[in-house]
Copies of this chain bind each other. A is one copy, B any other.
Amino acid sequence: MNSAGSEVPWSQTWDQIDDDFDEHLEEVRNFLRCPTVSASDDDMLAGAEYVAGLIEGAGGTADIIPTSGHPAVLGRIEGDGPRLLRYGMYDVQPADEPGWSSPPFAAVTADVPGAGPSIVARGAANSKGSLASFLLALASARRVSDLPAEILFLVDGEEELGSPNLPRVMHDRRADLAAEAAFDMDLTADRRSVAEVYLGCKGIVSFVLSCSGGEWGGPIERALHSSEGVVISSPAWSLVRALSALKDAAGRNAIDGLGPASVPQEDERLLDALVRDFDPAAHLEEVGALAYLGPNDAHSVLKDLMYEPALNLNGFSAGSVTGKTIVPHEARAALDLRIPYGTDVESVVAGIERIVAEAAPEVLVEGVQLCPPSRTTANSPVAHAMVESQRDVGPPPQVWPSAPWWAPFYLFEQVLRLPFASGGAGHAGRAHAADEYATIAGLRTHMRQSIAFLHHYARAARAES
């Protein structure tokens, strides 16, 4: 925590957060104990109700919005100042991977080596920990005084599915979402407490390739003894052919609408600043790898993370890998293509379908989901407030023109046409992996920053008017 500590106008609020912190921590843990895996049949309504309860606990009001999938939550907390829209999510990734040292929904506190005392749970890092922290900080703040801004909430229960129903919710409730700016928050700080601010994010085209025996050939209904594989086609080989053709095209940026990485002129200064502070060796260690795929200088790595499209094979499955000599009757692969801002998403999808149809017409392209990229300007008050509030609680943050990951920021930027920024102090780790965690110190820092952010925004807005 830097010198801003006791001087700031909201130091009384910070003291209140400290007073309430033990209680807040239990509340965060309870929220993490709701299994809200959107890809499963968990009780997502209970998760939505928990979010609504947290909003109401901070003195606000909340509606649970049914969708054709999992419900969203729309809320409002009064304040004396500009109106801001906070996006959030209450769903989490599946937690069925091996390697958890405690049950993923037990939310135990444990010492994470190198990070310190933490809550270990699916969703601790991504993103229930920060959502609860933000709301609990507002609850503390309101015990001391009015909030310096009015906060609207739009909380999705399907972000890990690509937010398929959020556009509809936004369309239907557009009038309730009128605001000056929008933002999202996460526990983005690394182990040095250096946090990040994002001005946008990459997009994703996700899809499944599948192939089963049928009129075209291959065994139908059941696997075949592989002695017959010389005369009967193999759905698994068809899938390999389609995958190989797609990878080849993606590697050459030869999928329609895909181009090689290019850095917009306005981003060059931001990229240079990031490069100065980026340690490729530390990044490799953090992601759990020993070598980069391409050049290992900071500039190349960051440029690729933000601007280079990439086709990822999330997994594949067919038959048996433990010694059954069979020709499987079905095969399946899941992929995602990460795309930079400016990509023509529809062309990319058409390009994928064409390549697969040419390489292996018996392979189906299914479950295509479009998650468009997003981008807002570095000069907006909301980005400024995010940077300043992070400075209040730690070292100066890094400003990323684009996050390498996806979130439904485009809906705020392109549909609601609001300036948008994302960021957040506090350290967490292992999102989407076993032993996902948020440090306890990080949660407290995040609560403090949440309040500072509102004050910085309100001050900037007042100065402008």
Contacts and interface: CB of A to CB of B under 8 A. Distances in A.
Nearest to A236: B313
A208 interface: yes
Interface stretch (A109-117, A282-290, A455-463): A282-290
Contact of A310 (B161, B216, B229): B229
A321 interface: yes
A406 to B, nearest CB: 7
Contacts of A108: none
A247 interface: yes
A417 B160 CA distance: 64
A328 interface: yes
B292 A217 contact: yes
A326 B304 contact: no
A232 interface: yes
Interface string A215-248: 1111111111111111111101100110110010
Contacts of A434: 222
B310 A316 contact: no
Contacts of A213: 288-290
A405 to B, nearest CB: 4
Contacts of A291: 215-217, 233
Contacts of A327: 312-314
A414 interface: no
A36 interface: no
Given A93-B324, A323-B161, A324-B93, A232 B293 contact: yes
Interface string A183-223: 00000000000000000001010101000011111111111
Interface stretch (A71-79, A262-270, A331-339, A443-451): A331-339
B301 A328 contact: no
A39 interface: yes
A251 to B, nearest CB: 9
Interface in A428-445: 431-434
A324 B316 contact: no
A160 B186 CA distance: 54
A428 to B, nearest CB: 13
Contact of A227 (B220, B240, B405): B405
Contact of A336 (B97, B206, B325, B433): B325
A355 to B, nearest CB: 14
B227 A325 contact: no
A405 B225 contact: yes
A305 interface: yes
A230 B295 CA distance: 11
B223 A433 contact: yes
Contact of A432 (B217, B225, B305, B314): B225
A215 B308 CA distance: 24
A217 B289 contact: yes
Given A314-B319, A317-B317, 18 more contacts: A93-B324, A94-B320, A97-B222, A97-B223, A99-B222, A220-B289, A227-B405, A228-B287, A229-B310, A230-B308, A231-B294, A231-B305, A234-B312, A236-B316, A312-B325, A320-B334, A321-B334, A324-B334
Interface of A: 39, 93-94, 97, 99, 160-161, 202, 204, 206, 208, 213-234, 236-237, 240-241, 243-244, 247, 287-294, 301, 304-305, 308-310, 312-329, 331-334, 336, 338, 403-406, 431-434
